[in-house]
Amino acid sequence: MVSPESNHTAEFEFTVIVPVFNEQDNIVRLEKELNDFLGHAIMRTCILFVDDGSKDHSLELLHTVCERHRDMFYLSFRRNAGLSAALKAGIDYAFSPWVGYIDADLQTTPEDFNLLLPYASQYALVTGIRTGRKDGLVKRISSKIANGFRRMMTHDDAVDTGCPLKVMQTAFAKRIPLFTGMHRFLPALILLQEGGNYKQCPVHHFPRTAGQSKYHLWNRLLGPLRDCFAYRWMKKRYINYQIADSNI
């Protein structure tokens, strides 16, 4: 069990989780943009990098980055476990009242957290909708198909669950069940919880300028379609309760 004792994230209001997998060419820019955001974030914010078993020099660079900044921290996996596992680990090890998520490729900007955070007290999840997407045609079409099928299966009405810019109340985030593909279903998983609600806000989107995308046709289209059936199976078996009284 992860404990908040001597966990530095408990000293902050908001923890930004940044999963990292073979992103050595993006680390310098990532450090600069995150540090710039920390200077005027509307909540007292820290950064939690989660290295997902990188095979390049990402982890070494993250060590150096975190040595330079008192508000940047890291976790590292023994081996690659995937984006959902990295996100879940970040949530498990964060003890600020709110947690956020952004991809290391910086196709979204941390500056836009200031567009989401004003709603963070009212909603369990605030998620971005990428405007003017700078992805290629195949990626946009496959994303549109996958989003449409997911909405049909989950009925969550979320427009862009693939947007890698989100803010969650930590208490709700810690109750999200772990399964591969979890990150694609955050609105639906939040709605399963008692009192769970979410809001969508437009955010900026940029082309990738360094490194390579970890997604191909299988994990961009067929993988999400397969995960929808896993979600439907889990939804019927989801345990949700509230304590009415206790003398414990």
Total residues belonging to the chain: 248
Q: Whose CA is closest to 48, among 82, 84, 81, 92?
A: 92
Cβ–Cβ < 8 Å for 224, 150: yes
Structural domains in the chain plus CATH codes: 8-236 (3.90.550.10)
CA-CA-CA-CA torsion sign (211, 228, 192, 236): negative
Strands 165-169 and 125-130: antiparallel
> What is residue 180's predicted lDDT score, i.e. its pLDDT?
77
Q: Which amino acid, residue 111?
A: E
Q: What is the pLDDT along the chain (248 residues), one digit of tens a residue?
A: 567 767 999 999 999 999 999 999 999 999 999 999 999 999 999 999 999 999 999 999 999 999 999 999 999 999 999 998 999 999 999 999 999 999 999 999 999 999 999 999 999 999 999 987 765 555 665 666 666 666 666 667 788 888 889 999 999 999 988 777 777 889 988 998 989 999 999 999 987 677 566 555 555 556 666 777 777 777 777 767 666 766 67
Q: What's residue 53's pLDDT?
A: 96
Q: What pLDDT is attached to residue 157?
A: 78
Q: Which residue matches tokens 């605030």?
A: 126
